[in-house]
Chain A
């Protein structure tokens, strides 16, 4: 059963960045500013995780500083799409292109290397081995031996579920997306909510990126997020606002990514195996489109706005 343990452990590791980024993306879907730039935000997170790690020599320190930087970036992005009315879809695409280009540029100009940055000075987040449970077959692979970010991701799932039920801020985020005037005339602040959603999204994407560079490995390679940001966008869209669905879908994507890596060459050529997660996403999309119900709720719009 070793292969199963290895598969599940690897699946959980792949799930972590997808889940983190998708949780961030979910919040932007509430405010109806779906951020499609997760991939770009993640690659920045991966790069600065390594860069700050080299500088500080501490993995956790690197995470904290990367988070702060991400919050500032999210703030700027939020202001761009609200105050300056930049189309959020365009801004997201630009972020993806910018992220890919800028990290390559920084890699060469700061470290003078091409392709990858590996250095003994790059810290790595500790793997937390849980005693007893870690030795149980199957469960051990699932639950034990992950970084703090993996556990954080699942704690955030719980926190988000709780917040959806019991917090004012999620209500205001959703209202800001669905009927901004309703929130504004009730004394809320639509702009603040829209910016907040982007800040949260950027911070979670930064964690997702850092998990890939200093969580799973301790190096940075160009384009190392390899489309997981887009997979996370897909997970956020598929979940249709439901947090538990989002967690489930992210796990399916994570496991299929792991399958892509773990499947033996004798079973399937690796080029095909690596396509598995994307095929799963495509099939999911088709199934979703076919089962999706038309929006049934509607508020009456009494009259043409006065001419």
Chain B
């Protein structure tokens, strides 16, 4: 150890950190300090710069200005190995696991036991037993990683970090893919590691989780540190205000009048599909959505929710069952024809399906106008003056923060991009709107705004199907919830009569008598 090391110094400290990507300032004069034995939450809206800051602490990016100190000693991390050597480990937002490798191979990757240049299966198995025991998990070292559940993969990531001897653990949005029960379990693991003297950085934008696990909370807003708070001495309102810069953000249920006894609009009867590459096959899914109603579809990702949205919109063929909108069977129709029958769609993958990410705002809005043209109209200019007027009007009406209708979509924040998609879809006054992960990567202010717009649409009779992996979203917005598991509907609940925990049970496959 160096003489500059002080025992009372923070385990890890970042001060005055600035990082730019071209014109984008991702971090500016950021401060963060971590003490041994604490769980430190790092919160902020999407794009606030949390991931960028952590990547600098892990040596993946180099700061343009500022210093990083490990136990009081200034350090420069040129590559991840430098950070690993300083006992820092990171569990990334996207898992860093090789799908075809075994669990043992993944955990030991980069530090293989078995002599120079050699890998020994048995030695690897022995070497990972210790960190597994410390974490209190038991995973088959020979299992192929890509076949394991998301929650297990995440545990492997943590074991991997422990195997490398980390005292500082950074977890970037670890709960985004977990059910409530799995989240609780993860928090227990984190608390145990903190009690052993590690420092843990927990990144999230879900405040309920933050207060459940954190000792201290640091808030980032637009790349700057707003402040660090003791969890015991602050509350959600103060943290939300710090995150958004506003003091009036509503995080509770979206208030709206739910009309009684409306006719059903979307009728889905015993729908089955083949297995698409990225999701489970649908198996006899049935439900109805009434006019003015919001039906939530919950479930761990990969249990058929994406397939359901695609089957409704017409990009995934049905192998059985029927779909009808306002009494017309649309099961055999193509996407355009379904849209003509009043279907609107906000796709899950905004960048590939939602809008032309390298196109302009005008081009993103134009399809709704252009699609309605018939006859010789199809030969007219796509971006006519009329389209431009409509687009300009929508940008103003939805308060889309863009340099104008000719701004390129990729320069907009996630929230503003999503406002464009929702504006375009609602402009067509759909009878039925399918929303897939509508607020993923969207900031809290924009979420509140979008919810308001969706509530307005239901007030004039639009039936909404809300597919979301975010239980908070479902609990805030929907009237009724269906839970999907392995392509089937395993439970149906009135939102006001259920809890996160109950939905969590169903998300792991528990069925109820009433449904399925």
Identify the A interface with B (CB < 8 A). Answer: 165-169, 171-172, 174-175, 178-179, 181-188, 294, 296-307
Beyond contacts A298-B99, A300-B95: 4 other A-B pairs, Cβ-Cβ < 8 A, are: A186-B160, A303-B173, A304-B351, A304-B414
From A181, A187, A298, A306, B47 is in contact (CB under 8 Å) with A306
Q: In the complex, which residues of chain A have a beta carbon less than 8 angstroms from the beta carbon of B349?
A: 304
From B50, B98, B301, B414, A307 is in contact (CB under 8 Å) with B414
Say how far A163's CB is from chain B's closest CB, in angstroms: 10
Determine if B111 and A187 form an interchain contact, defined as CB atoms under 8 angstroms apart.
Answer: yes
Determine if B145 and A307 form an interchain contact, defined as CB atoms under 8 angstroms apart.
Answer: no
CA gap between A186 and B79 in the complex, in Å: 10
Determine if B118 and A300 form an interchain contact, defined as CB atoms under 8 angstroms apart.
Answer: no
Determine if A185 and B417 form an interchain contact, defined as CB atoms under 8 angstroms apart.
Answer: no
Query: Which of B86-94, B379-387, B397-405 lines the interface with chain A?
Result: B86-94
CA gap between A296 and B146 in the complex, in Å: 8
Q: In the complex, which residues of chain A have a beta carbon less than 8 angstroms from the beta carbon of B144?
A: 297
Contact flag A303-B96 (CB < 8 Å), given A171-B112, A187-B110: no
CA gap between A233 and B301 in the complex, in Å: 38
Q: In the complex, which residues of chain B have a beta carbon less than 8 angstroms from the beta carbon of A296?
A: 146-147
Say how far A240's CB is from chain B's closest CB, in angstroms: 11
Contact flag A302-B93 (CB < 8 Å), given A168-B118, A185-B80, A307-B46: yes
Contacting residues of chain B (34-89) with chain A, CB-CB under 8 angstroms = 46-47, 50-51, 58, 60, 79-81, 84
Contacting residues of chain B (326-379) with chain A, CB-CB under 8 angstroms = 349-351
From B51, B117, B176, A168 is in contact (CB under 8 Å) with B117
Q: In the complex, which residues of chain A have a beta carbon less than 8 angstroms from the beta carbon of B145?
A: 297, 299
Q: In the complex, which residues of chain A have a beta carbon less than 8 angstroms from the beta carbon of B110?
A: 183, 186-188
Which of A174, A179, A298 is the most central at the interface, judged by chain B CB atoms within 10 Å of its CB?
A: A179
> Is B119 an interface position by the 8 A CB rule?
yes
Determine if B98 and A178 form an interchain contact, defined as CB atoms under 8 angstroms apart.
Answer: yes
Determine if A168 and B97 form an interchain contact, defined as CB atoms under 8 angstroms apart.
Answer: no
> Is B315 an interface position by the 8 A CB rule?
no
Which residue of B is nearest A298, CB measured? Answer: B146
CA gap between A186 and B81 in the complex, in Å: 7
CA gap between A104 and B19 in the complex, in Å: 54
Determine if A306 and B441 form an interchain contact, defined as CB atoms under 8 angstroms apart.
Answer: yes
Q: In the complex, which residues of chain B have a beta carbon less than 8 angstroms from the beta carbon of A185?
A: 58, 60, 80, 90, 92, 96
Contact flag A302-B173 (CB < 8 Å), given A171-B109, A186-B111: yes
Q: What are the 3 tightest A-B residue pairs by CB atom distance, in nearest-first order? A: A297-B146, A307-B414, A186-B110
Say how far B275's CB is from chain A's closest CB, in angstroms: 9
Which residue of A is nearest B146, CB measured? Answer: A297
Which residue of A is nearest B118, CB measured? Answer: A166
Determine if A182 and B97 form an interchain contact, defined as CB atoms under 8 angstroms apart.
Answer: yes
> Is B101 an interface position by the 8 A CB rule?
yes
CA gap between A186 and B89 in the complex, in Å: 9
Q: In the complex, which residues of chain A have a beta carbon less than 8 angstroms from the beta carbon of B160?
A: 186
Q: In the complex, which residues of chain A have a beta carbon less than 8 angstroms from the beta carbon of B81?
A: 187
26 contacts between A and B (CB under 8 A): A166-B120, A168-B112, A168-B114, A169-B117, A174-B98, A174-B100, A178-B101, A181-B92, A181-B96, A185-B92, A186-B110, A187-B79, A187-B110, A298-B99, A299-B97, A300-B95, A300-B177, A300-B301, A300-B302, A301-B95, A302-B93, A302-B94, A302-B177, A305-B93, A306-B46, A307-B417
Summed over the interface, the residue pairs from A and B with CB atoms below 8 Å come to a total of: 130
CA gap between A153 and B58 in the complex, in Å: 43
Q: In the complex, which residues of chain A have a beta carbon less than 8 angstroms from the beta carbon of B306?
A: none
> Is B277 an interface position by the 8 A CB rule?
yes
Determine if A175 and B440 form an interchain contact, defined as CB atoms under 8 angstroms apart.
Answer: no
Determine if A167 and B97 form an interchain contact, defined as CB atoms under 8 angstroms apart.
Answer: no
Determine if B96 and A179 form an interchain contact, defined as CB atoms under 8 angstroms apart.
Answer: yes
> Is B27 an interface position by the 8 A CB rule?
no
CA gap between A304 and B418 in the complex, in Å: 13
> Is B105 an interface position by the 8 A CB rule?
yes
Q: In the complex, which residues of chain B have a beta carbon less than 8 angstroms from the beta carbon of A187?
A: 79-81, 84, 110-111
Determine if B119 and A303 form an interchain contact, defined as CB atoms under 8 angstroms apart.
Answer: no
Determine if A303 and B176 form an interchain contact, defined as CB atoms under 8 angstroms apart.
Answer: yes
CA gap between A168 and B119 in the complex, in Å: 5
Determine if A167 and B117 form an interchain contact, defined as CB atoms under 8 angstroms apart.
Answer: yes
Determine if B350 and A304 form an interchain contact, defined as CB atoms under 8 angstroms apart.
Answer: yes
Determine if B117 and A299 form an interchain contact, defined as CB atoms under 8 angstroms apart.
Answer: no
> Is B495 an interface position by the 8 A CB rule?
no
Say how far B249's CB is from chain A's closest CB, in angstroms: 19
Say how far B159's CB is from chain A's closest CB, in angstroms: 13
CA gap between A182 and B95 in the complex, in Å: 8
CA gap between A248 and B122 in the complex, in Å: 30
Contacting residues of chain B (109-154) with chain A, CB-CB under 8 angstroms = 109-112, 114, 117-121, 144-147, 150, 153
Contact flag A182-B98 (CB < 8 Å), given A171-B112, A300-B153, A302-B173: yes
CA gap between A302 and B94 in the complex, in Å: 6
Say how far B322's CB is from chain A's closest CB, in angstroms: 28
Which residue of B is nearest A301, CB measured? Answer: B94
CA gap between A166 and B124 in the complex, in Å: 11
Q: In the complex, which residues of chain A have a beta carbon less than 8 angstroms from the beta carbon of B351?
A: 304
CA gap between A184 and B118 in the complex, in Å: 19
CA gap between A164 and B117 in the complex, in Å: 12
Say how far B121's CB is from chain A's closest CB, in angstroms: 8
From B47, B84, B100, A178 is in contact (CB under 8 Å) with B100
CA gap between A178 and B92 in the complex, in Å: 17
Determine if A307 and B441 form an interchain contact, defined as CB atoms under 8 angstroms apart.
Answer: yes
Determine if B413 and A297 form an interchain contact, defined as CB atoms under 8 angstroms apart.
Answer: no
CA gap between A299 and B147 in the complex, in Å: 8
Say how far B155's CB is from chain A's closest CB, in angstroms: 13
Say how far B123's CB is from chain A's closest CB, in angstroms: 11
Say how far A176's CB is from chain B's closest CB, in angstroms: 10
Determine if B109 and A186 form an interchain contact, defined as CB atoms under 8 angstroms apart.
Answer: yes
Say how far B409's CB is from chain A's closest CB, in angstroms: 11
Say how far B165's CB is from chain A's closest CB, in angstroms: 12
Say how far B274's CB is from chain A's closest CB, in angstroms: 11
Contact indicator per residue, chain B 154-192, by CB within 8 Å of chain A (1) or not (0): 000000100000000000010011000000000000000
CA gap between A307 and B121 in the complex, in Å: 40
Q: In the complex, which residues of chain B have a beta carbon less than 8 angstroms from the beta carbon of A299?
A: 95, 97, 99, 145-146, 153
Which residue of B is nearest A296, CB measured? Answer: B147
Q: In the complex, which residues of chain B have a beta carbon less than 8 angstroms from the beta carbon of A175?
A: 98, 101, 109
Q: In the complex, which residues of chain B have a beta carbon less than 8 angstroms from the beta carbon of A171?
A: 101, 105, 109, 112, 119
Contacting residues of chain B (256-288) with chain A, CB-CB under 8 angstroms = 277-278
Q: In the complex, which residues of chain A have a beta carbon less than 8 angstroms from the beta carbon of B118?
A: 166-168
Determine if A166 and B119 form an interchain contact, defined as CB atoms under 8 angstroms apart.
Answer: yes
Q: In the complex, which residues of chain A have a beta carbon less than 8 angstroms from the beta carbon of B441?
A: 303-304, 306-307
CA gap between A93 and B101 in the complex, in Å: 31
CA gap between A188 and B84 in the complex, in Å: 12
Contact flag A303-B440 (CB < 8 Å), given A171-B119, A186-B96, A187-B84: yes
From A167, A182, A297, A300, B119 is in contact (CB under 8 Å) with A167
